[in-house]
Amino acid sequence: MPRTPTRATRAPASTAGTEARLHAASVRAGAGAAIGVALHTLPLLRPFIPKRLMDAADAMEPGTVRRALVRTVYERHGLKPARWEVESVLAVAETQAKLSPLTRKDGLRGLLREWLPAPLIQPLLRYTPVEPLVLETARAVATTWAAGRYADAVCRVRKAGMDWLPAPLGEALEIAPSKLRDFSAEALTMALPPLKLAAAWGGQVLRASGRVASAAAKAARSSPPAAPRKPARKRTR
Let me know: does 129 contact 42? Beta carbons within 8 Å: yes
Helix orientation angle between 118-127 and 194-222, rounded to the nearest 10 degrees: 70
One-letter amino acid of 122: Q
- CB-based burial, 89-113: b 16+ in 10 Å, e otherwise: bbebbbebbeebebbeeebbeebbe
- What sign for the dihedral angle of Cα 173, 174, 179, 180? positive
Give the mean pLDDT of 94-115.
68
* Tens digits of residue pLDDT in 123-151: 777 776 778 888 899 899 999 999 999 99
Question: Considering the chain, what is the average pLDDT of its residues?
Answer: 76
Q: What's the rounded Cα separation, in Å, for the pair 187 and 134? A: 10
pTM: 0.73
